[in-house]
Structure 1
Amino acid sequence: MDALIVDDDDLMADLLETVVAGLHPAITVLKASGFHEALALWEKRKPSLLIVDWNLPDGSGLELVRKVRASDKVAAIVMITGRADRESILKVAHYRINGYISKPFNVEMLHQRLVQMVGQVLPEEPAPLASLEVALSDGVKTVIQLPVKTDAATMLELIGRADELSAAQLTERWQDDASLCSRLLDVANRSSFRRTGAPVVHLRDAIASMGVPMALNQGVALALDVSAAFSSEVLIACALEHQKQAETVALEAQRVALALGKRSPQFFTAGLLSRVGELAVLKVIDQFQRQGGEVSDEQVLQALRDWAQPYGNKLKIQWFLPLELRQLIGAVHYLPRENVTQERLIMRAGALMAAKESPEAELGKILRQLGLDEWHKQFREDEQKNEDGGGDGDGNGNGNQA
């Protein structure tokens, strides 16, 4: 099922995309910023759900609704506008729309209303399931949302205290949540936020650029994703393993950076996002299972081997991550022979230190290049003392700041 969002406000369109993408695993979200672009998409794809802003830069959302209704009486249509007067509401009612939402709106309320509409327009008989391979091939072309760690109730409680919260406080809460971090970086790096010409590479800056209220709305929309929680123990176990790997890489890369006197938070962010490809593959497998598909444990492992890199590469672009941050994430998995910067060496060293079985020769070579071979020896000695009960800390600035 296709859903079309028509809004020229990038920030609002991104929020609506987050809400709609989480309504059902079978939904593909399309976006248009103007009347003519939306009309072309509708004629090509015939979406079953349309969310349309009244005022568009090259036409009227109401005229778009009129054209759609002239040939489609079934599609669910929601008009979103800043107009809340009785005359405007009566005017759009003439076109048999399914919902009228005034801005600013409550994300939870919008989610509830859209869930009901989606249930009405989804086909009663699901389309025949393709193979898992086909599902993965198709899934890499669509919007992927990863499960967030914070539940909807907690997000809603935070919204109630939005006036009391700062970007720094939200960062402290969310800095180890790959899904929230990636989505907020995505929104912050879209063209409407590039006022300074510098890319946003850290969660705190992303929240500050869009404002606490909008960041919280994005968080609520992600938390309300009805398909977010994995449905099988195998997928849950795999997801937890990859999330832990990413967090460990983030902490180790940060440790190496601090040993070099670098306090940039981008190292922690890059480590945290280093397993998004694996998590996205697991999300697609979960959607496939929810629609009746059967997947063996071996197929899960094979899918991760074959598809984690393509999904990871796609998401880094889809999420508008700056090139610098994408390169740091890539260095976690592979260090190019040319154009090797100190920052990439830091990320690769952090990844090797986090691995259960890492190539000692490669790690040693990188640490020598960074001038940290003696530091690492001392760190290992302190670590061994801690394991033997002979110490209470590593003494090397292993903090949790990001």
Structure 2
Amino acid sequence: MPQSQRVPRVIIGEADRWTADLICQLVRSARCDADIVALGDGASVLQQCRQASPQLLIVDFGLPGIGGLDLLREVRRQKAQPPLPFFLITEKIDASSVRAAAPLAPTAYLAKPFDAEDLLRRLRQVLLQPGEEVSCPLPELAPQESLDQYLDKARETAAGAPLLNQVHETLELLHGPATPDLDELERRFHNDPQLTAQLIAAANSAAEHRGSGCQSLAQALHRLGTKHSLNLALGLALQRGASLDDPLLMAAGLKIWAQSQRLAELAHWLASRLGADAERCFTAGLLHRLGDLALLRTLQDWHGRGGALDEAQLEAALHKHAAPFGSALRTRWRLPLELRQLIAAVYQLGSGVYSREALVLNLAAQAAPLDAGQSFAPLAEHKSARMLHLDAATLEQLPRLTDVR
């Protein structure tokens, strides 16, 4: 990057982690080299501003401690010329709130849930000069760093899985003039593990938490609403590595996606027959290999930074690192404990009393690898089938191929 270019410092004040992550991603999409500081309370924002003046502030009106309006008032007292760009994001769109902010001249007054594409356009206007382009190649690997070392280091900060190509295509269609309804969003998004997991996590965040926890995509969509759900999906699609482009990794990803979908559909079918919670079972089945997919995305970064990668290394990495990656993601995103327990049941049943849903997931995991020419009848001897009182004739009715719901 030429020395004449100044790396902009952007301070984000937003208490909700998922909204803050979305804004961070939009800033990176507008200006990939931006120095971003994301904070969850007003006092910390003010302290950071005093330490080093930012080139842009993006603050929630209802920020804990010193609120967004008071921060805007403090910034305007400094009488900087030209005025410091300040985006105020708020749920307060009543006339009195707008009148209170207007004399302080916020650069943008954006209602929550904001339009992500509109915010991205505004960010580009503030952070880029006309005609300016900034590129940010991946940094090179540390000297002598092995693949295992790289993956161990990346595990706790991994962004998650790539998105299915159909999600990218769907987002282009859904950001048109007609607003899709929630049923359409569920139909278009329900096969994607990454999007499902992050929307569930966002719906269970402190900012959104109302009543019992969400454990399915449909529940998450209804809690978040159409606009916020679309914003979060767009933020995921804009992330680096959101698509797999390496042929070796793409082939592995397609196989894992198919296996996840197969298990999810079998779990849904069994749960529906047994009066169990079919949507929770489908979700757990879909997410059970989230760690494998997140690992593929991290391996793409490794390869992009100049690291060697062949089929043998890929298989070894999946065997050693996929489970820890998945566990770290589910914990860091604070997915509901009940959902994590169902995912664990795919691999083994713990001790104690088993829920019907856990038995369904465990049995679906035994059925999923069987191909069209193999009989499901022998599964009647499996522990989960016996406890669910499923006979060979019933098991033979299991769908042979994944059917899109």
> TM-score scaled to structure 2, two decimals?
0.75
Deviation at 1:63, TM superposition (A): 8.8
Partner of 1:34: 41
Deviation at 1:239, TM superposition (A): 0.6
Partners of 1:179 and 1:42 in 2: CA distance: 35
Give matches, 1:55-70, under 5 Å: 55=61, 56-59=63-66, 61=71
CA contact (8 A) 1:188 1:200 kept: yes
Secondary structure of the residue aligned to 1:306 is helix
C-alpha deviations, 1:342-382, integer Å up to 9, x for none?
Answer: 211110101110024999679622211110023445437x9
Q: CA RMSD in A?
A: 4.2
Deviation at 1:210, TM superposition (A): 1.2
Among 267, 282, 297, which residue is 2:311 paired with?
297
Among 284, 287, 291, which residue is 2:301 paired with?
287
Partner of 2:175: 159
Deviation at 1:28, TM superposition (A): 10
Partner of 1:126: 139
Partner of 1:53: 59
CA contact (8 A) 2:16 2:206 kept: no
Deviation at 1:315, TM superposition (A): 1.4
The answer to whether residue 87 in structure 2 is matched with residue 80 in structure 1 is yes
Partner of 1:208: 222
Give matches, 1:1-400, under 5 Å: 5-9=12-16, 12-17=19-24, 19=26, 31-38=38-45, 52-53=58-59, 55=61, 56-59=63-66, 61=71, 79-82=86-89, 88-89=104-105, 100-104=107-111, 105-111=114-120, 126=139, 128-129=141-142, 130-142=145-157, 144-149=159-164, 150=166, 152=168, 154-161=170-177, 163=179, 165-196=180-211, 198-356=212-370, 364-379=382-397
CA contact (8 A) 1:345 1:370 kept: yes
Deviation at 1:270, TM superposition (A): 0.8
Deviation at 1:143, TM superposition (A): 5.0
- AA partner of residue 207 (structure 2): S
252-261 or 232-241: bigger deviation: 252-261
Unaligned runs of 5+ in 1: 71-76, 93-99, 384-393
C-alpha deviations, 1:305-360, integer Å up to 9, x for none?
Answer: 11111111111122231111111111112221334322111101011100249996
CA contact (8 A) 1:22 1:226 kept: no
Secondary structure of the residue aligned to 2:58 is strand
> TM-score scaled to structure 1, two decimals?
0.75
- AA partner of residue 328 (structure 2): K
Deviation at 1:162, TM superposition (A): 5.2
Partners of 1:301 and 1:42 in 2: CA distance: 48
- AA partner of residue 326 (structure 2): G
Deviation at 1:219, TM superposition (A): 1.7
- AA partner of residue 227 (structure 2): P
- AA partner of residue 163 (structure 2): V
| Identity score, percent | 27
Deviation at 1:26, TM superposition (A): 9.7
